[in-house]
Amino acid sequence: MKKYFFITIAIAALLTSCSKSESQMDRTIFIHDELDAQLPAYTEWGYNAFGAKVNRLYFLSSNSIMPCKTLYKDGMLRFSLSGLYNSSYVGGVQHTEMTLTFCFPLEQIRQYSDLLTLNNKDIELSSPETLVILNKIEYSGQTRYETTDTLTVVGGDLIFRRAQLLNIDNEPNRAILSGTFDFRYLDGDYFPAHFSDGRFDMGINNDNFYAYY
């Protein structure tokens, strides 16, 4: 039997002792990881934060970019994480916008509360039914460069460790999806690359959940 989790809280006590509006709940709260302070700690409170190492660099959520979008269409769920990727270049650091999208089959869902079916679900990313898509946008002066690649994943997993429904004043407000990801893939030159130590803690509501039939 599947177990689902529910949180019921009052807005006045939400997350911290200070007053919280719903717009504040949509912001990213970055709690530093104890072992690697450049990554967010793994949490299950809907902090709208994610992070991962890409080889030796970092892919992180940002308050300037909506960190997560979910789309259900044609029996597939697209779970996207969008943020900033810090890539080194001669003379400094370049900030690149990046979106990592996991596409995998899922039983029919119609609303964000149905995402509770992801609780404790392990997605094998090298499965032929699964796609991992990487989109990058780089800016150089007035020029915008965009690339989108479907990655050749050779091993790894996306794990939804916990899916829970957040109720505020006894009304559903959002689903919270928390989990980890770690996978290897072949880059454009067919050398191995690695997303490691990935973790996410996302609040999903009608603003970032879409379903089409």
Residues 130-181 pLDDT 10s: 999 999 998 777 788 899 999 999 999 999 999 999 998 889 999 999 999 9
pLDDT higher than threshold 70 for residue 20: no
pTM score above 0.85: yes
pLDDT higher than threshold 90 for residue 49: yes
pLDDT higher than threshold 90 for residue 28: yes
The Cα–Cα gap between 113 and 143 comes to 41
Categorize the per-residue pLDDT at 208 as very low, low, confident or very high, splitting at 50, 70 and 90.
very high
More confidently predicted of 22 and 134: 134
Residue ranges of the domains in the chain?
5-212
Report percent pLDDT > 90 for the chain. Answer: 72
Residues 54-81 pLDDT 10s: 988 999 999 999 999 999 999 999 999 9
The Cα–Cα gap between 118 and 122 comes to 9
Phi, psi of 75 (to 5 degrees): 75, 10
For 28, 81, 112, the CA distances from 151, given in Å and listed in that order, are: 27, 15, 27
